[in-house]
Structures are given as structure tokens and as C-alpha cells.
Amino acid sequence: MEFNNIHTPVMLERTIELLGPAVSHPGAVLVDATLGMGGHAEAFLERFPELQLVGLDRDLEALAIAEERLKRFSDRFHPVHTVYDGIAEALDSLGFPEAHGILFDLGVSSLQLDRTERGFSYSQDAPLDMRMDSTSDLTAETILATYREGDLRRIFEDYGEEKLAARYARRIVEARQVEPITRSGQLVQVLQDATPAALSRAGHPAKRVFQALRIEVNTELSVLRRAIPAALGTLAVGGRIVVLSYQSLEDRIVKRDLAAASSSTSPADLPVELPEHSPRFRLLVRGTEMATEEEKASNPRATPVRLRAAERLKAENS
């Protein structure tokens, strides 16, 4: 397999620029919390010859590809099959007391999008699977077959921010009474038929529903709510975290957690900030950063990305 042709890492040079000062010293540990096919990991291992890299992924196929791609770094690369809220346990299992850099590249991976049979894309007909971890039980097909209309509406509203959630949920329930909805092409047809003509030109009607189903199948947001605090807790003083988000629901969680960690806890009426109330982290970028227009043109998957980053200033109880 020609690895250079299967994955173009998003905002690669910027992530290296931000994490580099924290991981360039001997013995530094970088956690790639969303390893995927190892594009970011390979670049860091090449750039920093004394770096130890821990790669986490719930997708066994991605782990296998990354292990093959990075086998020349076998003494410095440590793959772990886990969801990224298990970051502390993964480090502990490898004997690393803390991390010096952490990278999250959130959302669905290139591998998952490109493998038609995984069912993540609404543009090609495939079984409605959408599992990032093939060992888990819940699939999109199961959700569409068993969730009540109200629950379908909830996930389409909450995870897809879909304005036609109620309409789509009702039509799905009606359609499954005629025949099971087992393939993405069937679901797309149901959604297209349910979309008023005036709205059909505003974007593909399946986009937000597929996003919502994927998030529900993989419990992505609840995992992320646990993962960011867990990651911050593992960072050494001077350690840095970079998070790449691809939709607003993810970015809001990251923004909230980084803002809280970088804020003073001093009471409002305290005239002088005591050291124990000073922020534990500082933000490394103002707001969010986006990919350059040049990168968006060469790598369309970089178009929606939002980057946030922070650095640990002091230990938890200091």
C-alpha cells in the first residue's frame, strides 16, 4: 500500500509548530488520540527522532494500517486499541506517567469515509453500519430499526442540528413499516422524498442525518466530554494540546473545556489573585484557526476544520 496516497493530514505543519516546543526534548511523549492511518504520527516521529508516540484508535482496521506504516518506528511507536477518553489508562499501561503533547483530530477518518462498506458516506450505497469500532454492537441500521420516532427526532435535532428532524423521523418510521432500512441508498431516498422542493437546493438532505447517526452509533460527543478533561489531566507542566474539530458540536465542547482550564478561579471580589487561583493553562491561539485557502484547495477535508490549542502552566494542585 502506498501510504502517501491514502491520507493527507489536516493542518500538519501548524500542529507541528504548536506541539513542537513541548515534544522536542529527549524522552518526550506525544499522544495521538485519534491515530487513524498514522499521517500526523508519521510526521512527528520523523521530525522528532527521540519522541515516544502513543497512538490511540478504536478502529482496528486503522490501527493495522498505522502499525504497518510506522513499523520502522516500532521502538518509539506504541499503538493502543481504545477510545480516546481512555487516554490516562493507555499511558499508565505503557508506563508513561504523563504526556508532553496531545493531538486530537476529531470526526470521521479518511479511512472510514473512503471505505464504502463502512456506511459512513451518503454519496454511495452501502450497508448502514457507521461503527468506528467493528467490535461494538450498535449500528446505524439498528438505530433506524428500533428507535422510537421521538428518539430519532432527538438525535437528528441534537447531533445533526437538523430543522426537518421531526419530518424525517416520521418518514423513517413509516418507511420501515413497509420494509427494513438496511442500506444508505434506501435512507437517502426516504430523506429526499421527505424534503420539500424549496429546501432540497440548500444542501444534501442526508448530510445532517448521517452525521447524527454516526455520532449516536459511536457516542462521540459523550466520549469527547470525558476525553478533553482526561487529556488535560495527563499533560505535564509545559505540555501542549491541539484539537482539530470539524463541526460545531465538537468545537463547542473543546472551547468550553479549554476556556475553563485557562480561566482564573479567583472570587470576583478578591483584590489580588492568589497563586492557587491562577489559570492552569493558557490558550495558544486566539479563538480558532482555520486551514489556509491553499490547503483547502488541495485537501477539501480541511475546509471545515477549527483548531484550538493550549499549554499547561502549572501542576494541578500548585
Residue ranges at the known binding site: 38-40, 57, 84, 105, 112
Do 31 and 234 touch, CB atoms closer than 8 A? yes
Give whole-number Cα distances, 277 to 17, 21, 206, 314, 317, in Å. Answer: 30, 26, 47, 11, 10
Q: How far apart are CA 38 and CA 202, in angstroms?
A: 35
DSSP secondary structure string for all residues of 214-251: HHHHHTHHHHHHHHHHHHHHHEEEEEEEEEEE-SHHHH
Residue ranges at the known binding site for S-adenosyl-L-methionine: 38-40, 57, 84, 105, 112
Backbone angles phi, psi at 21, to 5 degrees: -60, -25
CB atoms within 10 A of CB 33: 29
Residue type, 8: T
Tell me the three state secondary structure of residue 186: helix
Q: How far apart are CA 281 and CA 243, in angstroms?
A: 15
